[in-house]
């Protein structure tokens, strides 16, 4: 079931990815995070994380999600990981991303999602606990902590 949901989420998110190739010399960045969310048609979540880049830059961030759709549940992602598309600087990663996701889980859940902000994309994956079911669209916001 988890594999099916991750595949659905990545398929939905892949339609949001920019089609331009990442230029040589761009910085590769990763985010480790945790997020708790709830939904009943409206979906909201809060969390925190740390972004680290292969050029030595690091940044503590807060995460906020908002959206809506056919969605119900409550879940927590404890060990989330995200990979950003190539960027010029870690500061390019701060801001509001467009999100689309498919999610399902009972007790232990898995989640996959791709969010975009202009030419910057962030592929998210994580495992957690709770129960949730649905499809949602909205915003994924990263701010400095």
Q: For the segment 7-16, what is each residue's pLDDT rounded down to a tens digit?
A: 444 444 444 4
pLDDT band at 117, cuts 50/70/90?
A: very high
Pick the range with the lowest mean pLDDT from 18-22, 60-64, 81-85, 91-95. Answer: 18-22
What pLDDT, on a 0 to 100 scale, did the predictor assign at position 86?
74
* pTM beyond 0.95: no
Average pLDDT, the chain: 81
Round to whole Å and give the CA distance between 6 and 100.
12
Please determine, for residue 21, whether its predicted confidence score (pLDDT) is greater than 50: no
Residue 12 has what pLDDT? 44
Domains of the chain: 2-14+29-144 (2.40.128.480)
Across 104-113, average pLDDT: 71
Element (H, E) at 142: strand 120-144
Convert the pLDDT of each residue in 44-81 to its tens digit. 999 999 999 999 999 999 999 998 887 888 888 888 99
Q: What is the mean pLDDT of residues 121-137?
A: 85
d(CA 112, CA 7): 8
Note the pLDDT of residue 9: 44
Between vectors from CA 130 to CA 126 and to CA 131, what angle results, nearest 5°? 105
pLDDT band (50, 70, 90) for residue 107: low
Are 83 and 122 in contact, with CB atoms under 8 Å apart? yes
Residues near 63 by Cβ (< 8 Å), separated by ≥ 6?
33, 35, 45, 46, 47, 48, 49, 140, 141, 142, 143
Query: In this structure, what token pair is assigned to residue 10?
Result: 């990545």
Radius of gyration of the chain (CA): 14
What lies within 8 Å, CB to CB, of 128 at 6+ separation is 75, 76, 77, 78, 79, 80, 105, 108, 109, 110, 111
């Amino acid at each position: 079931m988890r594999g099916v949901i991750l595949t659905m989420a990545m398929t939905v998110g892949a339609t949001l990815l920019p089609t331009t190739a990442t230029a040589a010399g761009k910085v590769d960045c990763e985010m480790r995070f945790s997020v708790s969310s709830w939904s009943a048609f409206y979906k909201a979540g809060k969390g925190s994380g740390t972004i680290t880049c292969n050029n030595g830059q690091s940044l503590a961030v807060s995460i906020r999600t908002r959206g809506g759709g056919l969605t119900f549940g409550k879940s927590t992602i404890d060990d989330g990981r995200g990979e950003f598309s190539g960027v010029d600087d870690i500061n390019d990663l701060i801001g509001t991303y467009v999100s689309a996701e498919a999610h399902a889980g009972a007790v232990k859940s898995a989640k996959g999602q791709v969010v975009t902000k202009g030419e910057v994309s962030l592929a998210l994956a994580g495992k957690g606990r709770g129960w949730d079911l649905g499809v949602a669209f909205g915003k994924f916001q990263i701010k400095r902590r």
